[in-house]
Structure 1
C-alpha cells in the first residue's frame, strides 16, 4: 500500500503543472490527464509518449492535470484530449468552457475512462459528446479487434485482425446519437460474462464498437475505449491508433472514403 501511495504521489506531481512542448506549429493540442483511484500509473509514461509524438509530428503540446484549464480560452487548441479524465469531474465553469469550445468549432478526443460518467443524466451534453453511455465491463481479457472503418487514420497502423487485451466496455445509447464505428471487438474471442461476483455482463453481440467518431456541435469527436493500463502507452500499435484519431480530430485530414 505504501508503494502504491508513493507511486500515486509521484504521478500526481508529474502531471500537476501545465507544461508546453513547442513543435513547429502544425497545431496546438491540450491533453488533460488527471490522476484518479484507478488511473494514475499511466500518466508519466503517456506524457513521455505524447511528448515524443509532438517532436516527431511537429505539433505543440500542452499537458495538464488541472481541469481549470477549461475555464480559460481554448480557442488556440485544434483539439482537446480527455485522457482517462471524464468531464464528470468538471465544475460548472469548466463544463461551460468545454461547451463553448465545441460550439465554436473545437474538436475533442475521448480516451477510455473519460467515457464513463458515474451519474448518467447529470450532464447530458457530455454524454452526447461521447456518443455512448458506459454500462459495465467484464474482467480484462485478450480478444480480437477488427476494423469497422479501414479508411479512418486511427486504423492505419493496425492489422485487419488485431489481438489486444483490455476492458471491453459495454454501452447504451440513451440519447440516440449516431456514431461511425472505427474498431469493433469480436465477442466470440473472449468471455463477455466473465465478471466479479455480484455483477452481470452479457455483452453487446456482433455490433460492439470500441472506437468511433461523430460530428458534435460544430466540431469533430474521436472516441476510443481502449487504453486501460500503463503498458499500452508504450505499445506502438496502440499509439498509432491513438495518434491517428488525434490527428484526424485536430485537422480533419487523412480519412479515406468508404
Structure 2
C-alpha cells in the first residue's frame, strides 16, 4: 500500500473517531437529566375527582433535584391514607394551589417536592390555606436548600448546608427520640437505628419548633459544616398560627417507604396534621 493511501485511510479513521466522540458529547449535553428537571410554573389546575372528608393532597413537584424515591413515597402515602378510609389525591401540578381546590383538603403532604414551586397567587393561596388552621407534612427534600426563604421559615429551618457525599453519603446512625408522646413517634424506641442521607442546617431550628428526634452524631463521618451536635434535628413540628406544620428529613431511598416503623411515623404525622390525633396549634 502506498504511503498516500495509508495516510488517507488513517485520516479517515481519525475523522470518524472524532465525529463519534463529538456525537457522544453532544448527546450527553442534550439528554435531560431525570434528577434535574427544567423548572416550570403551572397555570391550569387539574380537575379533581369527588372527595370525601378527610381528604389529603400529596404534592411532589420538583423544580430542583428529583429523588428516585418519589414514586415509592407517593404510592405508600396514598395507601396509608386509603387504609383509613380517607380520600387522597396525588399531583405535581402546582396550579392546584388555589383557594377553591385547597379548601377540599384537610392536610397537604410534600413528598420531596423541591425548588421554587409557586406563582405569587399560588403562594398566597397556600399561605391562606394554612392560616385557616390546616395541616402540612414535609418529607425529606421538602426541607432542603432549594426552597425559598419564606418557605424555609414556615418549616422552621434555614441555612441548609447539605449532606455527606461520596462513600459517606449514606450512614447508619441512631435517632434519639426526644418526645415519644406525639402520634408520629409514640411507637418508636428511645433510640431508633436508621440509615439515611442525613441533612444538616447552618443554625438550630426556630425557637418555636418542637424537636421530636435528633441525630446522634457519635461515630459518624461528618464534615464540620454538617455537624450540629445535640441541635441536629431530624423530625419536628411547629405551629404557624393555627396551622400544624410537621417535617421529617428521612426518606431519600425508595426502600424507606417500605419500612413499617417509618410508615407508621408518617401515618401519625398525617393524622396529626389533619387534626385527627394529638394536640397543638389551637
TM-score (norm 1): 0.80
Q: Is the 8 A contact 1:156 1:240 kept in 2?
A: no
**Which residue is equivalent to 1:136?**
162
**Which residue is equivalent to 1:71?**
98
Residue 140 of structure 1, CA deviation? 2.0
Q: Does 1:238 align with 2:259?
A: no
Unpaired runs of 5+ residues, structure 1, are 10-16, 194-199
Residue 6 of structure 1, CA deviation? 10
211, 228, 251: which one pairs with 2:252?
A: 228
Give the distance between the partners of 1:189 and 1:153, measured in 2 at CA.
30
Give the distance between the partners of 1:55 and 1:175, measured in 2 at CA.
33
Residues 50, 244 of structure 1: CA spacing in aligned structure 2 closer, same or farther, 3 A cutoff? same
Q: Does 1:209 align with 2:233?
A: yes
User: 3-state DSSP class of the match of 2:270?
Assistant: helix
**Which residue is equivalent to 1:109?**
137
Q: Does 1:126 align with 2:151?
A: yes
User: 3-state DSSP class of the match of 1:155?
Assistant: coil
Q: Is the 8 A contact 2:201 2:226 kept in 1?
A: no
46, 58, 66: which one pairs with 1:39?
A: 66
Residues 201, 159 of structure 1: CA spacing in aligned structure 2 closer, same or farther, 3 A cutoff? same
**Which residue is equivalent to 2:57?**
30
Residue 210 of structure 1, CA deviation? 0.2
251, 269, 275: which one pairs with 1:251?
A: 275
Instruction: Give the total of aligned pairs.
Output: 238
Unpaired runs of 5+ residues, structure 2, are 1-26, 36-44
**Which residue is equivalent to 1:196?**
none
The C-alpha deviation readout for 1:201-250, integer Å capped at 9, x for no partner, is 34001221101001103211001111111111111111111111111111
**Which residue is equivalent to 1:54?**
81
**Which residue is equivalent to 1:197?**
none
The C-alpha deviation readout for 1:4-33, integer Å capped at 9, x for no partner, is x89959xxxxxxx9697878x451111101
Larger radius of gyration: 2
**Which residue is equivalent to 1:180?**
210
Q: Is the 8 A contact 1:30 1:62 kept in 2?
A: yes
Give the distance between the partners of 2:249 and 2:218, measured in 1 at CA.
19
Residue 131 of structure 1, CA deviation? 0.2
Q: Is the 8 A contact 2:174 2:216 kept in 1?
A: yes
More off after superposition, 241-250 vs 64-73: 64-73
TM-score (norm 2): 0.74
Cα RMSD (Å): 3.1
Residue 155 of structure 1, CA deviation? 0.9
Give the distance between the partners of 1:219 and 1:208, measured in 2 at CA.
24
**Which residue is equivalent to 1:94?**
122
Give the distance between the partners of 1:240 and 1:46, measured in 2 at CA.
13
Give the distance between the partners of 1:42 and 1:6, measured in 2 at CA.
19
**Which residue is equivalent to 2:196?**
166
